[in-house]
Amino acid sequence: MAKKALITGITGQDGAYLSEFLLSKGYDVYGLARRSSTADVNLTRLKWLGIEKDVQIVDGNLLDLSGLIRSMQEIAPDEVYNLAAQSFVASSWQQPILTGQVTGLGVSNMLEALRIAKPDAHYYQASSSEMYGLVQQPVQSETTPFYPRSPYAVAKLYGHWITVNYRESFNMHASSGILFNHESPLRGIEFVTRKVTDGVARIKLGLEKELRLGNINAKRDWGHAKDYVQAMWLMLQQDIPDDYVVSTGRTTTVREMCEVAFNHVGLNIDDHLVIDPAFFRPAEVDILLGDPSKAKEKLGWSATITMEEMIKEMVEADLKRLS
């Protein structure tokens, strides 16, 4: 019989790529999605990959424990990937309570539902490099102390530690991936990489004249989501659950990332880039640089797509969309 996987956040970037990857492995893929009265579930990313008819969407919400238990009982998944969150850092200052409930306590609900209904399932928690925040070491590994700098990062840290707690308290196969920034053509428009590639495409096509950004000196360790979802799967294939940093081991400034996008379409960055104080964060994370050596050694995983290749792919996808 085919293995069954349940993915929360299936309509997001990572959920879509993970679905595609698991389907290629022969899994039956179920996706937990939150419906609203104004619109049906947004399957845009799954449609982009041509797999929207191959996954089964289940109604659910991370805040509804009874519904989560019911889903675990009905699906009886072999693997559960918790990717759902209020995941936009900037919004977490405007919605700190909601972010704490969904991104933090939502993890407790998932783990509790799993413990009650399907304790033998392998569980993946999407942790984040934002938990390092005001970095305590130049290169961040699994043992680097955390110092979160946003409500989002604080909520992610709760989700990370409650996963460790359930693993140790109830002997559950629960692993966390501390994923550094990972992007793709499926990234939401509110995230800086996609904002840049969409903006550059608009300028190239004559639809806009400028790109407005905040702190372009911030440094990030950027990889491709397609690479990173494979690391998630590898974690759940291990005999012993554990936590892993997933990154490229290379950091780049926002400005350097912008230059790749502008150069790709033959434009000069200084003719179009505008620094707007409105986009500065209340507390900035200046640099993130991950050490992926444990993932390489234990999982046999390493990034295969460079930041330059990824940004060029994203610019081409946005040119296609806008054309």
Catalytic residue positions, numbered: 128, 130, 152
Q: What are phi and psi of 273, to 5 degrees?
A: -85, 130
Contacts of 59 (CB under 8 A, 6+ apart): 32, 33, 34, 35, 67
Cα 193–Cα 198–Cα 200 angle in degrees, nearest 5: 95
User: Are the C-beta atoms of 289 and 169 separated by less than 8 Å?
Assistant: no
Q: What 3-state class would DSSP assign to 143?
A: coil
Query: In the structure encoding, which two tokens stand for residue 306, read together?
Result: 């460079």
Cα 304 from Cα 300, distance rounded (Å)? 12
Q: How many other C-beta atoms are found inside a 10 Å radius of the C-beta of residue 4?
A: 18
* Residues recorded for the chain: 323
Q: Which amino acid is at 310?
A: M
